[in-house]
A and B are shown apart, each in its own frame.
Chain A
Amino acid sequence: MSELRFEQVTVRFGRRRHALTAVDRVDLTVPAGSVVGLVGESGSGKSTLARAAVGLTPVSGGRVFFDGQPLRRAYRGEARRPVQLVFQDPYSSLDPRMSVGASVGEAVSRAVRGRAARRAEVARLLELVDLPADHAGRYPAELSGGQRQRVAIARALAARPRVLVADEITSALDVSIQGTVLNLVRDLHRSLRLSMLFISHNLAVVRYVSDFVAVMYLGRIVEFGPVDELLAEPRHPYTRELLAAAPRAGAGGLGRPDADPGPRGGTLDPADAEPVPPAVADAEPADPHRPPSGCRFHPRCPVGPLVHAERAICRTTEPTAPAHRAGAACHFAASPRPGAPTAHPEPVA
Chain B
Amino acid sequence: MRARSTWRDVLRTPLGAAATVLLAAVLVLAVVAPPIWSARADAPDTGQILAGPSPAHWMGTDSLGRDILARVLVATRLSVELALAATGIGVLIGLLLGTAPLLLGARVGRLVLAAVNIAVAFPGLLLALFFAVIFGVGRTGALLAIGFAIAPGFARLTQTLTARVAGLDFAAAARIAGVGRFRLFLRHVLPNVGEPLVVNATIAAGNALLAFAGLSFLGLGVQPPGYDWGRLLGDGLGGIYVHPAAALAPGVAVVVAGLAFNLFGEALAKTIGPRGPLPAGRRRPQRPAPVPAASPPAGGETVLDVRDLRVAFPGPVTPVRGVDLTIRRGEAVGLVGESGSGKSLTALAVAQLVEEPGEVRAERLELLGTDLTAGPVRARRRLLGTSLAMVFQDPMTSFNPTMRVGRQLAEVARTHQGMNRRQALARAVDRLRAVRIPAAARRAGQFPHEFSGGMRQRAMIGMGLMGSPALVIADEPTTALDVTVQRRVLRLLADIRAADGVALLLISHDITVVGQVCDRVLVMYAGRVVEELTVAELRAGGRHPYTRALLAAVPDLTTDRHAPLAVIPGRPADPADPAPGCAFAPRCGFADERCARADPPLAVDGTGRRVACWHTERVARAADPATRPAADPADLAAADPVAGLAGPGPGPAPGPGNSDEREVRIGDQS
Contact = CB atoms under 8 A, between A and B. Distances in A.
A touching B, CB within 8 angstroms: yes
Interface string A112-143: 00000000000000001011100100000111
A128 B486 CA distance: 37
Interface residues of A, number: 91
Contact of B170 (A95, A132, A141, A205): A95
Contacts of A56: 172, 175-176
A349 interface: no
Interface of A: 41-42, 51, 54-56, 80-81, 84-85, 87-89, 92-98, 103, 106-107, 110, 128, 130-132, 135, 141-144, 146-147, 150, 152, 155-156, 158-159, 174-180, 182-184, 186-187, 190-191, 201-205, 207-208, 231, 241-254, 257, 261, 264-266, 268-269, 271-272, 281-282, 284-285, 344
Given A41-B482, A191-B650, A141 B277 contact: yes
Interface stretch (B311-319, B348-356, B564-572): B564-572
Contacts of B564: 183, 186-187
B147 to A, nearest CB: 30
Interface of B: 2, 168-179, 187-188, 191-192, 275, 277-278, 332, 338-339, 436-438, 452, 454-455, 482-488, 490-491, 494, 497-498, 509-520, 534-536, 538-541, 549-551, 553-559, 561, 564-568, 571-572, 642, 645, 650-652, 654, 658-661, 663-664, 667
B557 A246 contact: yes
Given A176-B568, A208-B559, A106 B187 contact: yes
A128 B516 contact: no
B195 to A, nearest CB: 10
Given A132-B664, A175-B550, A190 B650 contact: yes
A344 B556 CA distance: 12
B652 A248 contact: no
Contacts of A268: 487, 490-491, 494, 516-517
B335 to A, nearest CB: 14
A107 B187 CA distance: 13
A253 B551 CA distance: 12
A272 B487 CA distance: 11
15 contacts: A84-B177, A95-B174, A130-B654, A176-B338, A179-B555, A183-B567, A187-B651, A190-B650, A191-B650, A191-B651, A203-B557, A268-B490, A284-B455, A285-B454, A344-B557
B124 to A, nearest CB: 31
Contacts of B176: 54-56, 81, 84-85, 159
B473 to A, nearest CB: 19
Q: Which of A207, A208, A250 has the most CB of B within 10 A?
A: A250
Given A144-B667, A159-B178, A268-B517, 9 more contacts: A128-B651, A144-B660, A156-B173, A159-B177, A180-B660, A182-B565, A242-B484, A246-B556, A265-B520
Contacts of A186: 564
A130 B438 contact: no
Nearest to B189: A95
Given A247-B516, A285-B454, A144 B663 contact: yes
Given A95-B170, A141-B277, A176-B549, A247 B557 contact: yes
Nearest to B648: A190
A142 B168 CA distance: 19
B666 to A, nearest CB: 9
B565 A179 contact: yes
Nearest to A174: B338
A208 B565 contact: yes
B482 A42 contact: yes
B669 to A, nearest CB: 13
A251 B519 contact: no
A89 B179 CA distance: 21
B487 A244 contact: yes
Contacts of B559: 204, 207-208
Contacts of B518: 265-266
A180 B538 CA distance: 23
Quick one: which of B488, B536, B556, B565 has the most chain A CB within 10 A? B556
B429 to A, nearest CB: 16
Contact of A247 (B454, B455, B494, B512): B512
Nearest to B660: A147
A261 B171 CA distance: 50
A265 B536 contact: yes
